[in-house]
Amino acid sequence: MIRFQNFSKFYPTRNGRSYIFRDVNIELPTDRNLAILGPNGVGKSTLIRIMGGADIPSRGTIESDVRVSWPLGLQGGLQGNMTGRENVRFVARIHGYKDTRVIEQQVADFAEIGVYFDEPVRTYSNGMRARVTFGLTMAFDFNFDVLLIDELTAVGDATFKNKSQALLLEKYERTKVIMVNHSVEQLKKFCDGGVVIKNKTLEYYDDLEEAIRNYQETYVRNR
């Protein structure tokens, strides 16, 4: 389970605190593949970043009894002043690899960003960053119980998308996913449950179709 206890996330503004999430108390199962649903700006990527440790709550806690990945997606968890290669080398050494050359080459081959692999990550486009982040995670057997995915399958041309999805489906046999994706069809391909972000809190649905209906009734049909 992933447990949210009195969880809030806000940012200071001239008019006081602007809340993204407020006083959330919920337990999300980690034996199902979950889609995160909500319109742009409602906090989907923020939620993924906080669950993956790339951001922190303003108040309260998020705890889990399973191994959750860092955020995989357009933002990712790479250090901006290091090159793609240096990021891969750093992570590999943390996880006990003394000779990192094979891992570096695997990620470089998968990401397909050429000479940019040896340029600082802060110079990357969102798509390039996502390619390296995804390649880095998939190159290791980290044995994550849950993969956090933010728009990852939307990155790159058709060939790269197919390659990414094939690799993700391979991992999918051994892990669960919590996914953000604007494509409902993509969500249906990977997920069976859903979480709707509404009124600055989270609503869990055991059935993905029910979650999609609630999302559409709340946001899409009321435009």
For residue 223, the model assigns a pLDDT of 56
Strand partners, 176: 146
For residue 141, the model assigns a pLDDT of 58
For residue 159, the model assigns a pLDDT of 73
**For residues 89-110, b (16+ Cβ closer than 10 Å) or e, as one string?**
bebbeeeebeebeebbebbbeb
Structure tokens of 90?
């750093």
For residue 221, the model assigns a pLDDT of 63
For residue 155, the model assigns a pLDDT of 57
For residue 8, the model assigns a pLDDT of 98
- Give the Cα separation of 4 and 25 in Å (integer): 5
- Give the Cα separation of 190 and 149 in Å (integer): 11
For residue 150, the model assigns a pLDDT of 82
* Strands 193-198 and 34-37, sheet pairing: parallel
For residue 19, the model assigns a pLDDT of 97
Taking only the tens of pLDDT, the chain with its 223 residues reads 999 999 999 999 999 999 999 999 999 999 999 999 999 999 999 999 899 887 899 999 999 999 888 777 655 567 889 999 998 998 788 767 788 899 899 999 988 899 999 999 999 987 788 788 878 877 765 578 898 888 765 555 677 777 777 777 776 677 899 999 888 988 998 899 999 999 999 999 999 999 999 999 998 765 5
For residue 140, the model assigns a pLDDT of 65
Q: Does pTM surpass 0.95?
A: no
For residue 137, the model assigns a pLDDT of 72
For residue 75, the model assigns a pLDDT of 54
CATH number (2.60.40.10, 3.30.1330.10, 3.40.50.300, 2.70.70.10) of 2-220 reads 3.40.50.300
- Give the Cα separation of 203 and 44 in Å (integer): 13
Helix (H, G, I), strand (E, B) or coil at 193: strand
